């Protein structure tokens, strides 16, 4: 994390590389502090900058700012349509612009608007700036890391106390987001099941989270046969990691988070084509989110008990690989006919959800990059939610909306269960047509979730092919921030 300051002083006294001034389109430029209004008005009057949402104009050595070489105007668009998430995104996009220039000491003026409380605006600027302050530099031979060293948020004289109190929680959420990006971006050659488990062990232990790693032998003993089958074609054997956060006082509720951790998904013998395999190191995003959320819950000291289980497996077409036509006896005893080895996530989750159902929790939520169909339906900016508890789902959707991570409910249409009927086993792992892939995958999982309050998240928004606002290409890190918001709320 960079050095952070939320300051009530005037932004004209900022000393650093660049001062970011968010501006509403239209007449709002007249409300800017005197120090910056003249130069901003000039570029707008001349028509060079309209303050459209996310539009950026860098100005060199502008009048009004003494010890800062650059001023960056960033558009917020129409004030009537402003949201806290737009403020986050504008601050994040400005940060990304600065980092690419090598500017590391960045000041931000919190925009003045009556649509939100001052502290909400200040917090959104800080959060957006920090979310954008990410660089996956581990594998670059050049050592320059494009990260900020100092971030200052200027409040134009408004009270800073509330935002300062929230700063720690904001940092916890951003750190969790960045951890998920790091894990998702790490190549599968370096983050295979055993390596992920070791990493989880180290991170959990350092952050007050209890951790237990189940070895392949223990998984065999405990009947995780569907999960183990998926891993058979790889030289890297599966692991299951159980994480546990218990609050100091008596917990108000117990939540189990289940993560799909396919460290690599080649498709197995039903192998993917080259284009579809390119990004499949991201297939462990669910497990990464579970790990990062547990750590965040512990750091924030939230009053709920949270258990996390991560199913870490590699799906490869090696000579011992499981095969289309195989029938697996899952941990629950239900038998599964495998017709496509690329529908492997649901096999891993079948065993994990059955285990989770024995834990007597109030809610079970699984997080999984389960279907390509989800990206077809919703794109890479929205994840799908389905489940058996409408109240739970609504609270999840609300939490997502509050933190600016988009979740959308799809219906769990019971009559589609027909399509999963097998002639030789209790259920088959694919349907014979291409309809409603997200829903039929969720219906498959439901068979193993027991009667508990359960929701499934199909994670189509964890990987971005291009840079967008505060999101960097590759892992987006979405997940822990809305989960933390929901669990803490
Ligand atoms: N991991 C994939 C789903 C996926 C695809 C996630 C693209 C993110 C981006 C999953 O294991 C898979 O391959 N699903 C199959 C299911 C099908 C065989 C029923 C799919 O979506 O094609
Ligand atoms: Zn697959
Ligand atoms: Zn997969």
Which residue's CA is the closest to the ligand 1 atom numbered 3?
371
Query: What pLDDT, in 10s, does the model give residues 55-91?
Result: 999 998 777 677 899 999 999 999 999 999 999 999 9
Give every CB contact of residue 194 below 8 A, 6+ residues apart in sequence.
236, 237, 239
Residues 309, 389, single domain; the answer is: yes
Query: What pLDDT, in 10s, does the model give residues 307-329?
Result: 999 999 999 999 999 999 999 99
Place of tokens 């004209």: 12
Q: What is the mean pLDDT of residues 162-176?
A: 97
Choose which residue among 188, 273, 372, 379 to substitute to test ligand 1 binding: the one with the highest number of ligand atoms within 8 A of its C-beta: 372
For residue 389, being part of any structural domain is answered with: yes
Residues 136, 189, single domain; the answer is: no
Residues 206, 335, single domain; the answer is: yes
Residues 117, 248, single domain; the answer is: no
Query: What pLDDT, in 10s, does the model give residues 93-122?
Result: 999 999 999 999 999 999 999 999 999 999
Is 309 in contact with 290 (CB distance < 8 Å)?
yes
pLDDT score of 33 more than 90: no
> What is the reported pLDDT for 62?
75
Question: Per-residue confidence at 43, pLDDT binned at 50, 70, 90?
Answer: confident
Residues 88, 149, single domain; the answer is: yes
- Phi and psi, residue 437, nearest 5°: -60, -35
340 Cβ closer than 6 Å to some ligand 1 atom: yes
Question: Per-residue confidence at 29, pLDDT binned at 50, 70, 90?
Answer: low
Annotation marks residue 250 as catalytic: no
315 Cβ closer than 6 Å to some ligand 1 atom: no
**Domain ends where: 157, 192, 219?**
157
For residue 164, being part of any structural domain is answered with: no
Query: Lowest-pLDDT range, 38-47, 50-59, 169-178, 294-303?
Result: 38-47
Residues 123, 181, single domain; the answer is: no
CA of 16 to the centre of ligand 2 (A): 48
377 Cβ closer than 6 Å to some ligand 1 atom: no
Residues 180, 139, single domain; the answer is: no
Tell me the residues surrounding ligand 3 (ion) with CB < 5 Å: 262, 265, 283, 345
Residues 60, 148, single domain; the answer is: yes
345 Cβ closer than 6 Å to some ligand 1 atom: yes
For residue 168, being part of any structural domain is answered with: no
Q: Give the CATH number of the domain where residue 301 resides.
A: 3.40.630.10
Please identify, by atom number, the ligand 1 atom nearest to the C-alpha of residue 429.
19
38-41: list long-range contacts, CB under 8 Å, 24+ apart: 38/63, 38/64, 39/63, 39/64, 39/71, 40/73
Residues 346, 386, single domain; the answer is: yes
Give every CB contact of residue 257 below 8 A, 6+ residues apart in sequence.
289, 290, 293, 294, 306, 307, 308, 309, 365, 366, 367, 483
Annotation marks residue 468 as catalytic: no
Question: Residue 340 CA: which ligand is closest?
Answer: 1
Query: What pLDDT, in 10s, does the model give residues 301-310?
Result: 999 999 999 9
Residues 206, 272, single domain; the answer is: yes
CA of 329 to the centre of ligand 1 (A): 22
Structural domain boundaries enclosing 93: 3-157
Q: CA-CA distance, 62 to 38, in Å (whole number)?
A: 10
For residue 165, being part of any structural domain is answered with: no
For residue 71, being part of any structural domain is answered with: yes
Please indicate whether residue 318 or residue 42 has the higher confidence score (pLDDT): 318
For residue 40, being part of any structural domain is answered with: yes
375 Cβ closer than 6 Å to some ligand 1 atom: yes
pLDDT score of 401 more than 70: yes
For residue 463, being part of any structural domain is answered with: yes
Question: Per-residue confidence at 239, pLDDT binned at 50, 70, 90?
Answer: very high
Query: What pLDDT, in 10s, does the model give residues 412-466?
Result: 999 999 999 999 999 999 999 999 999 999 999 999 999 989 999 999 999 999 9
Residues 273, 416, single domain; the answer is: yes
For residue 222, being part of any structural domain is answered with: yes
Question: Residue 459 CA: which ligand is closest?
Answer: 1
Question: How many domains is the chain partitioned into structurally?
Answer: 2
Choose which residue among 342, 350, 443, 456 to substitute to test ligand 1 binding: the one with the highest number of ligand atoms within 8 A of its C-beta: 342
**Domain ends where: 157, 188, 208?**
157
430 Cβ closer than 6 Å to some ligand 1 atom: yes
Please give the mean pLDDT across all residues of the chain.
96
Query: Angle, to 10 degrees, between the axis of helix 285-300 and the axis of helix 480-488?
Result: 40
Q: Whole-model pTM above 0.95?
A: yes
Residues 202, 100, single domain; the answer is: no
Q: CA-CA distance, 245 to 343, in Å (whole number)?
A: 31
> What is the reported pLDDT for 27?
60
Please identify, by atom number, the ligand 1 atom nearest to the C-alpha of residue 345.
11
Place of tokens 């650059």: 70
**Domain ends where: 157, 191, 215?**
157
CA of 266 to the centre of ligand 2 (A): 7
């Amino acid at each position: 994390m960079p050095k952070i300051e939320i300051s009530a002083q005037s932004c004209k006294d900022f000393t650093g590389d660049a001062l970011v001034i968010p501006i509403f389109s239209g007449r709002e430029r007249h409300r800017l502090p005197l120090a910056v209004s003249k130069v901003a008005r000039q570029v707008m009057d001349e028509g060079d900058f309209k303050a459209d949402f996310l539009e950026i104009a860098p100005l060199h050595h502008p009048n009004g700012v003494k010890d800062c070489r650059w001023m960056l105007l960033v558009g917020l668009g129409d004030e009537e349509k402003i949201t806290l998430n737009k403020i986050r995104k504008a601050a994040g996009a400005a940060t990304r612009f600065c980092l690419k220039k090598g500017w590391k000491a960045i000041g931000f003026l919190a925009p003045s608007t009556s649509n939100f409380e001052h502290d909400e605006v200040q917090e959104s600027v800080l959060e957006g700036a920090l979310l954008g302050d990410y660089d996956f530099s581990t594998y670059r031979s050049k050592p320059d890391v494009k990260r900020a060293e100092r971030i200052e948020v200027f409040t134009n004289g408004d009270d800073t106390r509330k935002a300062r109190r929230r700063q720690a929680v904001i940092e916890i959420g951003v750190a969790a987001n960045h951890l998920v990006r790091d894990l998702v971006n790490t190549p599968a050659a370096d983050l295979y099941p055993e390596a992920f488990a070791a990493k989880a062990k180290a991170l959990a232990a350092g952050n007050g989270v209890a951790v237990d790693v189940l070895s392949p032998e223990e998984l065999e003993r405990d009947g995780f046969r569907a999960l183990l089958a998926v891993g058979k074609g790889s030289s890297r054997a599966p692991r299951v990691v159980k994480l546990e956060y218990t609050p100091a006082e008596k917990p108000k509720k117990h939540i189990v988070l289940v993560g799909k951790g396919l460290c690599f998904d080649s498709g197995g013998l039903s192998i993917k084509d080259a284009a579809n395999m390119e990004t499949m190191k991201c297939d462990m995003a669910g497990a990464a989110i579970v790990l990062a959320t547990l750590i965040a819950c512990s750091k924030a000291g939230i009053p709920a008990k949270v258990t996390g289980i991560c199913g870490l497996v590699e799906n490869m077409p090696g000579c011992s690989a499981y095969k289309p036509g195989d029938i697996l006896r899952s941990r629950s005893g239900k038998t599964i006919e495998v017709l496509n080895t690329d529908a492997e996530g649901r096999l891993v989750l079948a065993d994990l959800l059955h285990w989770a159902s024995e834990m007597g929790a109030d809610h079970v939520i699984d997080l999984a990059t389960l279907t390509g169909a989800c990206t077809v339906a919703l794109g890479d900016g929205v994840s799908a939610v389905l489940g058996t508890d409408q109240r739970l789902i609504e609270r999840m959707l609300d939490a997502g909306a509050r933190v600016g991570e988009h979740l959308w409910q799809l219906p769990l249409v019971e009559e589609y269960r027909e399509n999963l009927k097998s002639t030789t086993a209790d259920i088959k792992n694919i349907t014979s047509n291409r309809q409603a892939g997200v829903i039929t995958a969720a219906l498959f999982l439901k068979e193993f979730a027991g009667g508990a309050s359960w929701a499934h998240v199909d994670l189509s928004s964890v990987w971005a092919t291009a840079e967008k606002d505060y999101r960097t290409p590759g892992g987006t890190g979405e997940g822990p921030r809305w989960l933390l918001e929901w669990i803490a709320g």
